[in-house]
């Protein structure tokens, strides 16, 4: 059971938070407590990564399975270097850092013994990320130590992209939330494993396979689970343990239309659900929504700019649980570029996937 505590809300200047604004949050982290903070991807639930007691609290507060490792957040390439246990991997880390850090990329490397076992769920590797959000960056810098942080949601829920999402899931279970406004990317970081060559993409995000290839000079391997449906039923060792759990699931059932989607397919799916007496909501791109529908439509963003869909996706997956709908039909997009990350999350959120 998580201890019941009073969760503080700290409002700070998102673009340039002062040390004074972050003082209480830093003190809480230093004392071994949990603080949620904004990053450019999603809100993270942070603990001092070098304090095993503090890190254990993350698993309790989230209800997170102990075999799912945490990402360690740093505020410089030097900090990342100190946590990397294999000299040969440093050149790749530096090349990726040069191109994408600070930013939405997590690099999995062989770890040093300085990182407690509880952080990595006993794996000999660790995921490292230097976040670009000024609040996240300043917080780690002021603490002067790496910060372990998963997304700040209860396990299995959509990741939070607003401070109010964090409070909805974790109020009374953590020391505080730093409110730095909405997260710009809206999807969690891309995770790439560089302990082998070519590196393997374990989770798609804002940094695309094409972006990685441009910098590495070779295509990354795409882990097969990226395209898979919600739960991987297998006795094989799981490369990225996070991949085997149901994720991002709203309470309201989600019917995902695999691409290509047009107005006619949406209408047919809506009619089928309505004939069961269900109140139907539609989650559509701006392009498809233009056709006009006789059910409520929530706008996902533009198909031509999948990053706009990434930005709104988790907020909408939470919104559809407001009691208005018995089922929500969601338009899928082409799984390329940021679309690969969007579809990876949608396939895990979906109750049913309909192909053409």
Q: Cα–Cα distance between 139 and 145 in angstroms, integer?
A: 10
User: x/- binding map, residues 185-204, to ligand TXA, per CB under 6 A?
Assistant: ---xx-x----------xx-
Interface with ligand TXA (CB under 6 A), residue from 75, 125, 208, 308: 125
User: From CA 132, how far away is CA 75, in angstroms rounded?
Assistant: 9
DSSP annotation of 111 reads B
> Does residue 189 interact with Mg ion by CB under 5 A?
no
Select 248 or 325, whichever has its Cβ closest to Mg ion. Answer: 248
Q: Is residue 222 close enough to count as binding ligand TXA by CB under 6 A?
A: no
For Mg ion, the binding residues in 251-310 under the rule CB under 5 A are none
Residue 77 makes CB contacts below 8 A (sequence gap 6+) with 93, 94, 97, 101, 130
Binding-residue total with Mg ion (CB under 5 A): 1
Q: By CB under 6 A, tell whether 225 contacts ligand TXA.
A: no
Q: Please choose, out of 148-156, 198-206, 215-223, 291-299, the segment that lies near Mg ion by the rule CB under 5 A.
A: 148-156
Nearest partner of 298 among 262, 325, 338, judged by Cα: 325
Select from 149, 174, 282, 298 the one that contacts ligand TXA (CB under 6 A): 149
222 phi-psi bin (left φ>0, alpha ψ -120 to 50, beta other):
beta
Alpha-carbon gap, residue 165 to 159, rounded angstroms: 8
Rounded to whole angstroms, how far apart are CA atoms 40 and 167? Answer: 18
Q: Which does 189 bind (CB under 5 to 8 A by kind): ligand TXA, Mg ion, none?
A: ligand TXA
> How far is the C-alpha of 275 from the C-alpha of 123, rounded, in Å?
50
Q: Does residue 225 interact with Mg ion by CB under 5 A? A: no
> Which of residues 151, 161, 190, 285 is near Mg ion by CB under 5 A?
151
Select the span of 62-70, 286-294, 302-310, 343-351 touching ligand TXA (CB under 6 A): 62-70
**Binder of ligand TXA out of 17, 38, 103, 127 (CB under 6 A):** 127
The count of chain residues that interact with ligand TXA, using the rule CB under 6 A, is 28
Q: In this structure, are residues 120 and 68 in contact, taking their beta carbons and an 8 Å threshold?
A: no
Identify which of 68, 51, 83, 31 has the alpha carbon closest to the alpha carbon of residue 153: 68
Tell me how far, at minimum, the Cβ of 291 lies from ligand TXA, in Å. Answer: 34
Q: Which is nearer to ligand TXA, 69 or 301 (CB)?
A: 69
319 binds, among ligand TXA, Mg ion, none (CB under 5 to 8 A by kind): none
* Using rule CB under 6 A, residue 42 touches ligand TXA: yes
Q: Of Mg ion, ligand TXA, none, which one sits near residue 71, judging by CB under 5 to 8 A according to partner kind?
A: ligand TXA
Q: At its nearest, how many Å lie between ligand TXA and the CB of residue 129?
A: 6
CA distance readout (Å), 70 to 148, 161, 346:
6, 18, 22
- Region of 2-10, 83-91, 117-125, 291-299 interacting with ligand TXA (CB under 6 A): 117-125
SS3 118: helix
* C-beta separation of 74 from 80 below 8 A: yes
Q: Give which of Mg ion, ligand TXA, none residue 40 binds (C-beta under 5 to 8 Å, depending on kind).
A: none
Query: What whole-number distance in Å separates Cα of residue 82 and Cα of residue 78?
Result: 6
Per-residue CA distances from 211 to 100, 193, 215 (Å)? 9, 15, 7
Minimal CB distance to ligand TXA: which residue?
242
146 binds ligand TXA (CB under 6 A): no
CB 180 within 8 A of CB 14: yes
Residue from 79, 93, 97, 129 in contact with ligand TXA (CB under 6 A): 129
Do 133 and 73 contact (CB within 8 A), yes or no? no
For Mg ion, the binding residues (CB under 5 A) are: 151
For ligand TXA, the binding residues (CB under 6 A) are: 39, 41-42, 44, 68-71, 106, 108, 120, 123, 125-127, 129, 131, 149-151, 188-189, 191, 202-203, 240-242
């Amino acid at each position: 059971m998580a201890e019941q505590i009073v969760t503080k809300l700290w409002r700070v200047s998102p673009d340039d938070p002062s040390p004074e604004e972050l003082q209480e949050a830093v003190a809480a982290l230093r004392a071994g407590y949990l603080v949620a903070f904004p990053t450019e991807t999603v809100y993270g639930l942070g603990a001092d990564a070098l304090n095993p007691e503090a890190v254990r609290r993350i698993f309790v507060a989230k209800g997170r399975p102990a075999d799912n490792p945490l990402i360690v957040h740093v505020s410089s390439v030097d900090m990342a270097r100190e946590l990397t246990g294999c000299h040969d991997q440093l050149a790749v880390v530096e090349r990726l850092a040069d191109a994408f850090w600070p930013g939405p990329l997590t690099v999995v490397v062989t770890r040093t013994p300085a990182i407690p076992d509880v952080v990595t769920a006993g794996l000999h590797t660790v995921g490292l990320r230097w976040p670009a959000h000024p609040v996240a960056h300043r917080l780690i810098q002021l603490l002067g130590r790496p910060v372990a942080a998963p997304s700040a949601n209860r396990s299995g829920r959509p990741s939070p992209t607003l401070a109010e999402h964090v409070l909805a899931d974790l109020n009374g279970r953590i020391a505080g939330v730093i409110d730095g406004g909405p997260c710009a990317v809206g999807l969690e970081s891309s995770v790439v494993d560089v302990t082998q060559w070519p590196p393997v993409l374990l989770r798609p995000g804002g940094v695309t396979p094409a972006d990685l290839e441009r910098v590495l000079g070779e295509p990354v391997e795409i882990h097969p689970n990226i395209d898979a449906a919600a739960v991987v039923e297998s006795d094989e060792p799981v490369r990225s343990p996070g991949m085997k759990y149901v994720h991002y699931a709203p309470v309201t059932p989600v019917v995902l239309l695999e691409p290509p989607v047009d107005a006619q397919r949406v209408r047919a799916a809506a009619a089928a659900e309505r004939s069961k007496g269900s109140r139907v909501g539609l989650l559509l791109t701006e392009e498809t929504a233009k056709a006009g529908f006789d059910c409520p439509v929530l706008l996902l963003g533009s198909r031509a700019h999948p990053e706009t869909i990434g930005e709104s996706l988790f907020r909408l997956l939470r919104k559809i649980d407001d009691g208005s709908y018995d089922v929500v039909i969601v338009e899928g997009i082409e799984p390329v570029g940021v679309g690969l990350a969007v579809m990876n999350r949608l396939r895990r959120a979906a109750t049913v996937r309909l192909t053409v």
